[in-house]
Structure 1
C-alpha cells in the first residue's frame, strides 16, 4: 500500500509540474525580407567602387554575407526573375524573354513545377506580401505599357497581398518609366531624355513611395503571429536614370572614371554585343550609342553620374526599410536578402544596357543576412541566382515540393571553406550559352557569325577584353564538357 501511495503521489506531482510549466511552442520560422533592385550592377562601395555613395547597403554588407561572384541566368529583367523565383535554368525560348513569368505562370493553375519559392512559403504558413517590381511587372499585374492596369496577377498563387502606390503616375508602368512631373516615356512617345535631376524629395519618384509603403507594412506585420515574406522591388537605377537632385550632388562628375573596356573585345564578333536599342529609345538623349564609335567622354561621364545618382537614391530607400526592420525588433528573426536582377554596361565595349552574356551584364549583387549573423563575411565562390531558392527553403525549414536546378549555398553562410563547392554558373542570351568558372568564362553561340566560341581568362583579363579561345584550344577542350552540362536545349534542342 505504501508503494502504491508513493507512486500515486509521484504521478500527481509530475502532473502538477507539467501543468505549471508554460506550453513549449515550436520555434517560429524566420521572416524573410527580400529586396530586389533593378539593373544594379555590383557598383557599390562594398563591392570595391570607392566613388559610389551607398552607405546603407554597405552597412548591411558589414553584417551579412557578401557574394562577390553571383551570376544571373539571363541578362534581362523578366527572364532573370523567372529563374530566380523558380530555381530553374531556361529550357524553352520563352524562358529567356521578359514574358517568361507571364507565359509560364500567370493565368495557369497552381502546380509544383514551375512554382515560385514565394508560393512554396505561402503553402507552408507564411503570410506573403509583394510590392514594387518582384516579377517583371512593376506592380505585379499583367498589362501593356500603354494600357490601364489589369486585374491579372503575374504570380497568381504567390501573394496574400500585392501592393503598389503609383502616385501621380496612375499605373505601374507609367511610374516605372516616370519623370518627376508625373509624365512618362511612353506618354511622351519616347521624346524624353534618358536622365533627370529634379528638385524633389524622395517621394517625388516612385521608389520613395515604395519605401514608405514597405515601412508601413512592416509595422502591420510586426503585430501578426505568423512568419512573413515581404518582397520589396525598387526601380532605380533602371532607365530612365532619374533621381532627386540631392543624390546627384553627391558626385563630382569630372572625377567619375570611365570604363576600362572602351572598345569591342579582341577577336569578338559584334553579334555578341548589341546596339543599345533600349537606351536609344530615349530620343532626346545628348548622343546616340553605337558599336561604330563610343559616345563622347563628357556624355559618358554624365550618364555614369546619372546612374550613380539612381544607385544612391535607391540605397537611401533601402536604408529606410532596414531601419524600420530594426526599430520594430523584427531584425532578430528575419532573413534579409538584397539581390539585383542583372548588371549593366556603362559604355563597356561601347554598349549602354544589359542584354549580353559578358560579366558586366550577368554578374549582379547578392547580400544575405541571417538573424544570428552579427559580422560580415565576403565570399568569392561562384554561385548562381538559381541557388537562392533552395537556400531560402533550407534557412526557413521548408521542403521544396519538386527539385530545382540550383543548390543551397548554406555552407557558404558560415566561416571556413566548404568541403566541396562547384564553382560554376551558367547564363543564356542572344543564342548563346556561357559558363563562368573560377578562372574562365567560356561561351558558345548558336549562330552563323564567327567566331562562335569565346574564352576569357579572368586571371590576366578580368574585364574580358580579349577572346583567347583560338590561342588556348586545350582550355576550350577542358571546359567544353562543363559547358555542355548547362546546355538545356533552349537554343538548340538537338545538342545537349
Structure 2
C-alpha cells in the first residue's frame, strides 16, 4: 500500500471515530429509573453500617446521593402521582392510592403530557415500563381480587408495558405473593407478614422483574431511539417475603430496635396510626398498637424482614447495573434510584407509612449521570419528589410544562450552585408539613389538639418531642413558609 493510501485510510478512520464521538456526545441520554417500594434511607450509603447494600452503595459512589429528599404524600399511589406529574396534591382524592386511575386514566390526550414519561415519549424516547411505576403493580387497572384488564393506568406514557407475574398469574397476586404461589388475597389474609423461603431470587416476583428488565435492555441496545426504562420493584413493601439467604445475612438478635419506639411527647394519637397495614396480616406474631410497643424480639424479627428484602432488591439492582455496563449502555444512561415513601420500623410506636413524620416521608434518592466528574457526592440540599420531573427533562434537554410545582435541581446536581429551595412540603392525615434543613413544622386541620407540631432535627433527629409550645417564635417564623405550600387541600 502506498503512503498516500495509508494516509487516506488513516484520515478515514479518524473521521469515523470523530463522528462516532460527536454522536455519542450529542445523543439524548437514556434513563434507567428504578423505583423501590417503601424504601426509607436504610442503606449502607446512607450510613447504616449493618445494612448490606453493596450494589446501591456502588451507584451512590459513582453518582450523587441526596440525604434530604422528601416525598409529597406518604402512601404509594399518591406519591407516585406527584412524581409523574410534578404537581402537589390539591384535593383529598389526590391523597389516595387510586388517584392515577381516577384522575389520569380516563382523560383524553391533551396539550399537556399526562406524565414526564409521556413528555419524553413525545420527544423521541422509547418508553418501557416494568412493574410498579404508577400505583398498579403491573400498570393495568383492576382490583386486588380481579383478573387484569387491558386498560392502562397511564394510557399515553408507555411505548411498551410488560410484566412477568410468574406462578402468581396477576400483578397484584405477585405483589402480595408467597413462595408457594399463593398470595394474601387467596389466603384471606390468614398469613404472616413475613416469609423466608429457601428459593432462588426468581422464587419471588422481583427476581422475575430483573430478568425481564435485563432482556429488555438487550433489546433496547439496538434501538436507534433513546430509551426510558422504568423498573418498579415491590420489596421491601409488606409482606417481608424474600429468599432465606437474604434473611441469613443478618443476625436477628444483634439487630437494634428503633431509637424512638414510643409515641412522641406532646403529640395527639391522631398524628399517628395503629399499624393497620401490618395487622392486616392476621397471623402476625403480635398486634402493633399505640398502647405499648411490640416486644423487642418481634421488633427485631420485623426489622430483619425489612432488611432482608432491601438486600434482596439490592442484588436485583446489581444485576441490572451489571448488564447495563456489559452492554456499554452505562456510558450514556442516567440511573435513578428512588423510594416512593418511607416506613416506620416501630418508630414513634408505628409500623408502616401514612404519617407526616420523617420516617414516612424521607426516602432514598440517588442519581448517576454519565460522564459527570466528582462522583460519589453527598448532597444535603432539601429536595422534593415533584422536583424530579423538571430535573430529568432538563438533563434530557426536553422542555417541561411551565405549570409544574417542582423546581429543577440540576444546577445543584451538577455542582453549579450550593443549594436548592431547601424546603419540602408533604400532605396527609388532615395536615401539611414543612421540612427545612433543621426543622419540621406540621399544621393539622382537625379538632384534636395539639394541631401544631415542631421538631428540631439538630437536637432531636428522631422527632421524639413536639416543641411547638416551647418555641413559639420559631413556629411564627416558619408558619408563613408553611402556608406557601398550602394548596387549598383542606379548604374545600
Cα drift, residue 253 of structure 1: 0.6
Question: What's 2:4 paired with?
Answer: none
Cα drift, residue 400 of structure 1: 1.4
> How far apart are the structure 2 equivalents of 1:77 and 1:184?
20
SS in 1 for 2:213: helix
Deviations 1:350-388 (A, max 9, x none): 110000010000000000011112521001110000000
Cα drift, residue 114 of structure 1: 6.4
Given that residues 442 and 476 in structure 1 are in contact (C-alpha distance below 8 angstroms), is that contact kept between their aligned partners in structure 2?
A: yes
Verify: 1:144 aligned to 2:173, yes or no.
Answer: no
Deviations 1:387-408 (A, max 9, x none): 0000001000100144310111
Cα drift, residue 108 of structure 1: 1.4
Given that residues 40 and 237 in structure 1 are in contact (C-alpha distance below 8 angstroms), is that contact kept between their aligned partners in structure 2?
A: yes
> How far apart are the structure 2 equivalents of 1:70 and 1:254?
31
Deviations 1:275-325 (A, max 9, x none): 111110000010010001110000000000011000000000011100000
Given that residues 105 and 114 in structure 1 are in contact (C-alpha distance below 8 angstroms), is that contact kept between their aligned partners in structure 2?
A: no
Give the 5 Å matches for 1:40-119. 40-113=39-112, 115-119=114-118
> How far apart are the structure 2 equivalents of 1:186 and 1:426?
35
> How far apart are the structure 2 equivalents of 1:21 and 1:114?
40
SS in 2 for 1:466: coil
Deviations 1:218-255 (A, max 9, x none): 00000111100000000000000011011011001111
SS in 1 for 2:108: coil
Higher Cα Rg, which structure: 1
Deviations 1:46-105 (A, max 9, x none): 001111110100011000100000000000000000000100000111111101111111
Question: What's 1:464 paired with?
Answer: 463
Question: What's 1:7 paired with?
Answer: none
> How far apart are the structure 2 equivalents of 1:27 and 1:46?
32
SS in 2 for 1:128: strand
Given that residues 446 and 492 in structure 1 are in contact (C-alpha distance below 8 angstroms), is that contact kept between their aligned partners in structure 2?
A: no
> How far apart are the structure 2 equivalents of 1:465 and 1:417?
34
Given that residues 126 and 228 in structure 1 are in contact (C-alpha distance below 8 angstroms), is that contact kept between their aligned partners in structure 2?
A: yes
Using structure 1 for the length normalisation, give the TM-score: 0.94
> How far apart are the structure 2 equivalents of 1:142 and 1:415?
41
Cα drift, residue 416 of structure 1: 6.3
Distance 1:387 1:440, change over 3 A: same
Given that residues 383 and 420 in structure 2 are in contact (C-alpha distance below 8 angstroms), is that contact kept between their aligned partners in structure 1?
A: no
Deviations 1:144-202 (A, max 9, x none): 00000111100100001001000000000000000000000011000000000001000
Question: What's 2:203 paired with?
Answer: 204
Question: What's 1:157 paired with?
Answer: 156
SS in 2 for 1:33: strand
> How far apart are the structure 1 equivalents of 2:401 and 2:481?
28
Verify: 1:409 aligned to 2:409, yes or no.
Answer: yes
Give the 5 Å matches for 1:380-419. 380-415=380-415, 417-418=417-418
> How far apart are the structure 2 equivalents of 1:273 and 1:129?
38
Paired residues in the alignment total 475
Give the 5 Å matches for 1:365-380. 365-373=364-372, 375-380=375-380
Question: What's 2:8 paired with?
Answer: none
SS in 1 for 2:26: coil
Given that residues 113 and 119 in structure 2 are in contact (C-alpha distance below 8 angstroms), is that contact kept between their aligned partners in structure 1?
A: no
Question: What's 2:247 paired with?
Answer: 248
Q: Which moved more, 1:22-31 or 1:346-355?
A: 22-31
Cα drift, residue 112 of structure 1: 4.3
> How far apart are the structure 2 equivalents of 1:57 and 1:307?
16
Unaligned 5+ segments in structure 2 are 1-10
Given that residues 438 and 457 in structure 2 are in contact (C-alpha distance below 8 angstroms), is that contact kept between their aligned partners in structure 1?
A: yes
Question: What's 1:167 paired with?
Answer: 166
> How far apart are the structure 2 equivalents of 1:188 and 1:242?
15
Unaligned 5+ segments in structure 1 are 1-16
Cα drift, residue 113 of structure 1: 4.6
Cα drift, residue 417 of structure 1: 4.6
Given that residues 377 and 415 in structure 1 are in contact (C-alpha distance below 8 angstroms), is that contact kept between their aligned partners in structure 2?
A: no
Given that residues 175 and 234 in structure 2 are in contact (C-alpha distance below 8 angstroms), is that contact kept between their aligned partners in structure 1?
A: yes
Given that residues 334 and 370 in structure 2 are in contact (C-alpha distance below 8 angstroms), is that contact kept between their aligned partners in structure 1?
A: yes
> How far apart are the structure 1 equivalents of 2:472 and 2:356?
21
Question: What's 2:437 paired with?
Answer: 438
Question: What's 2:5 paired with?
Answer: none
Distance 1:48 1:21, change over 3 A: closer
SS in 2 for 1:147: coil
Question: What's 1:264 paired with?
Answer: 263
Given that residues 107 and 152 in structure 1 are in contact (C-alpha distance below 8 angstroms), is that contact kept between their aligned partners in structure 2?
A: no
